[in-house]
Structure 1
């Protein structure tokens, strides 16, 4: 009887995993269709790297605040509502870009705030759903599938966008692509109605993260430093690489082709590595990935043109899964290392995201300072190499912890199901 119950739970979890992958795929796909070209669109309106940097900073600050403030709603209220609202606000962002048109450069703080709210709501709720729908033995596989889906979206969507924008010319192509993204976000909201409602998770602890930092031997102190280091790279690379491709070529079509090629490599890499990755491979697999994506920046010191950027992009896409799959899986294994930790998963996810956003903010602020006072190609390349090597620091901080399970006894599916069923007795499930 117990085995049958566990098989049923496993089947339900598998369906929820695929539904969650579908919602994530639509959200990522809609953003891939348009977000690649948002910064290019703003750049064409006003050739100003500092403006692009401040747009990213506002986004990062508001995203972090949204994570922290929305934590109470997600834990004590309706996490499914937060997921849907995040998708809706993303649609509002692109609607605003459409409405503002050439005046968008005058409303950078507003646009950054709206995009930050969307990202904060969606990714907070998604990460909680992800934790509850997966187990330690399926987490690497789920991350591989999510990476595969993301690579597929980033392969096809920007390529199609580049073709449309290049053929229609002017701002007409941009407006059509932004409008299509609105439709995909609507599809994402509709699909989310098939996700299972999750129970409330108790009272939200506003200060749990601070208490973790104050405890001398708490492993989250090291993990928080690792997340900050990881964010250093993401803060700059999140917007700068595609912008460099456009500046080097002046062509949206070639930018779309760049995305097609690099994402195709990433798709194959995520498929292969996601299938074979096991916790025992994490330590040295992550080191190899971190080393190679750091070295990928070196060709840009020779010359920043389409060829060298393509070499950088292909190398990064090929080796990124070796780095990203274990680091994400490890942190979520830590969150679920025992029942007490799993019950505080909302606070732990927020703690992780605050570290990432602090790193993104720091990296972007340094970028703004450098391009404001010394906007030379060498200075930009040194920034890319310095912050692009931060995955090695992440590996060094986590290296000892990657050798063993993230906690004394990670929750099995049956234990997690029991924990959730007890929680489901609380009134008004979310």
Structure 2
């Protein structure tokens, strides 16, 4: 009963936090692009962010043995609020302070996502996590329907860059409100020696393949996460148009998440992933043919369907795999820290490859990197093949 109350409170916090994030998240990258029109600056900011996250995860794992894990989650939300306030303070000077800005965002991400994943293990049950992930995907998709549309409209009607400052301020406010909602939740510190080496250099084949899957999934996300939004704004010249496109693809995501959450079966996990992998791979070739607003729409719709089919089953599978450890209550934080190592390496590696492609292949670089990352999700199917039906 207590877990149900905690889960409901947790989901309510996710709703507020997610809406605050989607109001401003993609627009930070677009804002940097609008100031300098330079992909290298965005990559500099993102690498600073992603290089910081694993260190924060490691620190979180250590202090999580000694303090309430809810405190870690709250610290992450507070740092997100501080990040947007920092961007507000810097304004146009952000391009001169991208490394410190990226580090601050990395601290926020590290604390928040460590807390999020630990609470997910605490408040959800093995074999039933598709429903939770489907719920959070719907929350994210609905927020993404409304958030970018509202943000794009605000940016569109306000002169110069004032619209950006308004949405950054609103995001900070929503983050602080969500801290109040999660505050009543409690957890018990785990007091034991802190060890992650055996989970990083694991002999468990299932866990090893899962970490390889996370390496490639995070590499895809790192590039596609910012590149597509900038291509839309660059092609159309309008943040409001990006908001309208985000509304459309988020509606598709809501529908896909709902159907997957309602009809998904454990024995079909790897089949859902394979379907998503093939859809994503084929969708990229639409952009290889031509990059314009119409092809970006078609790609975005197909990619949003593929994303749900890949991410929800894989996330549920990975969390179930962690939960099967006989010492899960004592080692869950160490698993989350170990899991973030391939995620961080995957993100940074993909961004470095992106910059190398831009430098040496010029006009064809974007299409080439899109084709390359379209192959990454096949590693996720490989990770789940044979094991995806049953993690036991």
Normalising TM by the smaller chain, what interval?
Answer: over 0.9
Work out which of the residue numbers 29, 36, 44 in structure 2 matches 1:46.
36
Q: C-alpha deviations, 1:274-324, integer Å up to 9, x for none?
A: 111121110111111111122111110121111111111111112322111
Q: Which structure 1 residue ranges, 5 or more long, are not aligned? A: 1-10, 408-430
Query: Which residue number in structure 2 is paired with residue 5 of structure 1?
Result: none
Work out which of the residue numbers 380, 383, 396 in structure 1 matches 2:382.
396
How far the C-alpha of 1:213 sits from its partner, in A, is 4.7
Q: Is the 8 A contact 1:204 1:347 kept in 2?
A: no
Superposed, 1:254-333 pairs within 5 Å as 254-333=241-320
Query: Which residue number in structure 2 is paired with residue 160 of structure 1?
Result: 150
Work out which of the residue numbers 360, 363, 387 in structure 1 matches 2:373.
387
Query: Which residue number in structure 2 is paired with residue 198 of structure 1?
Result: 187
How far the C-alpha of 1:212 sits from its partner, in A, is 3.4
How far the C-alpha of 1:386 sits from its partner, in A, is 1.1
Q: Is the 8 A contact 2:199 2:338 kept in 1?
A: no
Q: Is the 8 A contact 1:76 1:203 kept in 2?
A: no
TM-score by length of 1: 0.88
How far the C-alpha of 1:214 sits from its partner, in A, is 4.2
* C-alpha distance in 2 between matches for 1:169 and 1:200: 50
How far the C-alpha of 1:389 sits from its partner, in A, is 2.3
Q: Is the 8 A contact 1:50 1:372 kept in 2?
A: no
Q: Is the 8 A contact 2:200 2:338 kept in 1?
A: no
How far the C-alpha of 1:12 sits from its partner, in A, is 2.5
Superposed, 1:342-357 pairs within 5 Å as 342-357=329-344
Change over 3 Å in CA distance of 1:361–1:46 after alignment to 2: same
How far the C-alpha of 1:326 sits from its partner, in A, is 0.9
SS at match of 2:130: helix
SS at match of 2:65: helix
Q: C-alpha deviations, 1:27-52, integer Å up to 9, x for none?
A: 22111001111111111111110111
Deviates more, 1:107-116 or 1:11-20: 11-20
Query: Which residue number in structure 2 is paired with residue 33 of structure 1?
Result: 23
* C-alpha distance in 2 between matches for 1:99 and 1:275: 45
State yes or no: 1:96 paired with 2:76.
no
How far the C-alpha of 1:399 sits from its partner, in A, is 0.7
* C-alpha distance in 2 between matches for 1:217 and 1:186: 41
Query: Which residue number in structure 2 is paired with residue 237 of structure 1?
Result: 224
The two structures, once aligned, show a CA RMSD in angstroms of 1.4
* C-alpha distance in 2 between matches for 1:159 and 1:213: 41
Q: Is the 8 A contact 1:242 1:255 kept in 2?
A: yes
Deviates more, 1:183-192 or 1:389-398: 389-398
SS at match of 2:125: coil
* C-alpha distance in 1 between matches for 2:201 and 2:286: 42
TM-score by length of 2: 0.97
Superposed, 1:115-134 pairs within 5 Å as 115-134=105-124
Query: Which residue number in structure 2 is paired with residue 427 of structure 1?
Result: none
How far the C-alpha of 1:173 sits from its partner, in A, is 0.7
Query: Which residue number in structure 2 is paired with residue 187 of structure 1?
Result: 177
Query: Rg bigger for which structure?
Result: 1
State yes or no: 1:142 paired with 2:132.
yes
SS at match of 2:194: coil
* C-alpha distance in 2 between matches for 1:385 and 1:188: 39
State yes or no: 1:73 paired with 2:46.
no
Q: Is the 8 A contact 2:73 2:115 kept in 1?
A: yes
How far the C-alpha of 1:215 sits from its partner, in A, is 4.8
